[in-house]
Amino acid sequence: MELGQLRALRELGDRGSIAAVAAALHVTPSSVSQQISALQRTSPVPLTVKDGRRTALTDAGRALALAAIGVEEAFARAEQAVARFQSEPAGTVSVAGFHSACLAVFGPLLTALHGPDRPRVSLSDFDVAQERFPALTSDHDLVLAHRLAGSPPWPATVRVTPLLFEPLDLAVRRDHRLAAKPSVTPADLRGEDWVAVHEGFPLERAVGVIAGVGGGDARIVHRINEFSVAAAVVEAGGGVALMPRYTTDHPGLVLLPLAHPGLGRHIDCLARPETLERAGVAAVLALISTITDDLVRRSATMNA
Q: How many domains does the chain have?
A: 2
Domain's final residue, options 66, 87, 108: 87
> CATH number of the domain that 244 lies in?
3.40.190.290
Residues 6+ apart with CB under 8 A from 118: 89, 90, 283
Q: Do residues 76 and 133 both lie within one domain?
A: no
Predicted confidence at residue 303, as pLDDT, reads 64
What is the reported pTM? 0.70
Check whether residue 150 and residue 52 sit in a common domain. Answer: no
Angle formed at CA 296 by CA 109 and CA 291, multiple of 5 degrees: 15
The CATH number given to whatever domain includes residue 57 is 1.10.10.10
pLDDT of residue 83: 65
Q: Which residues span the domain enclosing 223?
A: 92-303
Whether residue 46 sits in one domain with residue 10 = yes
Is 273 found in the same domain as 154? yes
- For residues 47 and 169, membership in a common domain is answered with no
Q: Are residues 196 and 290 in the same domain?
A: yes
Q: Are residues 112 and 174 in the same domain?
A: yes
pLDDT tens digits in sequence order for the chain, 304 residues long: 788 888 898 888 888 889 998 998 899 999 999 999 999 999 999 999 988 888 889 999 999 988 888 888 887 777 766 766 666 666 799 999 999 999 999 999 999 998 877 889 999 999 898 899 999 999 999 999 999 888 899 999 999 999 999 999 999 999 999 999 999 999 999 889 999 999 877 778 888 888 888 877 889 999 999 999 999 999 999 999 999 999 888 888 999 998 876 688 999 999 998 888 888 899 999 999 999 999 999 887 766 5
Q: Are residues 99 and 205 in the same domain?
A: yes
Both 24 and 102 in one domain: the answer is no
Class of residue 279 by CB neighbours under 10 A (exposed 0-12, middle 13-18, buried 19+): middle
End of a domain among 87, 106, 141?
87
Question: Does residue 125 share a domain with residue 210?
Answer: yes
Same domain, residue pair 14 and 163: no
User: Are 112 and 183 in the same domain?
Assistant: yes
Domain endpoint, select from 87, 114, 147: 87
Task: Check residue 24 and give its pLDDT.
Answer: 87
